[in-house]
């Protein structure tokens, strides 16, 4: 399988996160990285040295890049929201993360055309994220592996089987995380249909709404447009304009199923990062697949 990884965010804590990215995501030479990163300082040499030949494109995007500011202001001005929320969108990372995704997708598409290839799956990964659980597409898309995970789930629970499968199959450790909270989509499929759905379905799977997510290549053709159309996807949600809801809403627009799950430790790292909760004797331990590493 050919896997494209869109690597976005700010450099922040990248010196202590990038090695986990290399170890637990970039498992094979056929995993190609397309980075668009907002620099807090210059880490280009670190990124190139650690990622190595897996790195196919790297762009730096300043927060006040003129082209981006023009796009951002045009999109924000057209949103029917309070001025304080418009200010929030202009100053937070909610919108720029999708513009980074958009630029990385352009590089990905150019690489495909130049080399006559097409990726099977695309993953988005944040630069300030520590991934504890391996995500190996060459393993998790194997029919026998999916069947094994499915039957393990069915032996423990008869409810919402597809939802549990979609929120755990990418690393079976998640089956044992007692505080996992999956989304509920209520799609009814037979066992064989579920196995085929994992391999070929029109879905986005995310860990904690929009931190780490992946989809079949064809889905990203639609999702990447969020970078230049942010705010055009409304819903009944009071905060339809935030980054999580915009991803949910664009999926709904294009009839892409969205599965998301989180554990207590994954969720709390976004706002209350405490290293003692994620390490035991300097080893990554706990009921989580990732955490955001903040200082």
Looking at residue 158, what is its pLDDT? 65
pLDDT-derived band at 45 (thresholds 50, 70, 90) equals very high
In this prediction the pTM is 0.96
Reported as a single tens digit per residue, the pLDDT across 169-187 is: 999 999 999 878 877 777 8
Domains, the chain, ordered by start: 3-132+203-292 (3.90.550)
Mean pLDDT across the chain = 95
pLDDT at 224 over 70: yes
DSSP per-residue string spanning the chain: --EEEEEEEE-TTHHHHHHHHHHHT--STTEEEEEEEE-SS--HHHHHHHHGGGEEEEEE--TT-HHHHHHHHHHHHTS-S-HHHHHHHHHSSTTHHHHHHHHHHHHHHHHHHHHT---SEEEEEETTEEE-S---HHHHT-HHHHHHHHHHHHHH--SSHHHHHHTTTT-GGGGG-TT-EE--------HHHHHHHHHH-SEEEEETTTTEEEEEHHHHHHHTTHHHHTT----SSTTTTSHHHHHHHHHHHTT-EEEEEE-HHHHHTTT---GGGTEETTEE-SS-SEEE---
């Amino acid at each position: 399988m050919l896997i494209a990884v869109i690597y976005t965010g700010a450099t922040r804590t990248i010196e202590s996160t990038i090695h986990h990215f290399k170890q637990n995501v970039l498992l094979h030479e056929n995993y190609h990285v397309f980075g668009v990163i907002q620099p807090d300082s210059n880490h280009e040499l670190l990124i190139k040295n650690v990622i190595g030949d897996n790195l196919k494109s790297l762009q730096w995007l300043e927060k006040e890049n003129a082209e981006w500011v023009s796009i951002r202001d045009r999109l924000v001005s057209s949103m029917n929201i309070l001025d304080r929320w418009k200010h929030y969108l202009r100053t937070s990372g909610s919108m720029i993360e999708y513009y980074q995704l958009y630029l990385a997708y352009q590089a990905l598409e150019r690489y495909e055309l130049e080399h006559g290839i097409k990726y099977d799956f695309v993953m988005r990964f944040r630069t300030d994220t520590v991934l504890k659980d391996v995500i190996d597409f060459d393993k998790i898309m194997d029919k026998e592996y999916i069947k094994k995970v499915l039957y393990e789930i069915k032996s423990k629970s008869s409810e919402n089987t597809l939802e549990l499968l979609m929120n755990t199959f990418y690393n079976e450790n998640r089956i044992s995380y007692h505080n996992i909270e999956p989304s509920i989509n209520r799609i009814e499929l037979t066992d064989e249909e579920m196995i085929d759905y994992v391999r070929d379905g029109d879905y986005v799977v995310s860990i904690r709404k929009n931190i780490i997510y992946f989809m079949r290549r064809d889905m990203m053709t639609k999702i990447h447009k969020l970078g230049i159309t942010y705010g055009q996807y409304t819903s009944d949600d009071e905060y339809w304009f935030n980054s999580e809801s915009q991803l949910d809403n664009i999926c709904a627009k294009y009839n892409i199923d969205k599965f998301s799950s989180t554990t207590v430790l994954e969720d709390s790292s976004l706002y209350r990062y405490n290293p003692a909760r994620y390490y035991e004797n300097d080893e990554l331990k706990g009921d989580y697949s990732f955490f955001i590493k903040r200082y």
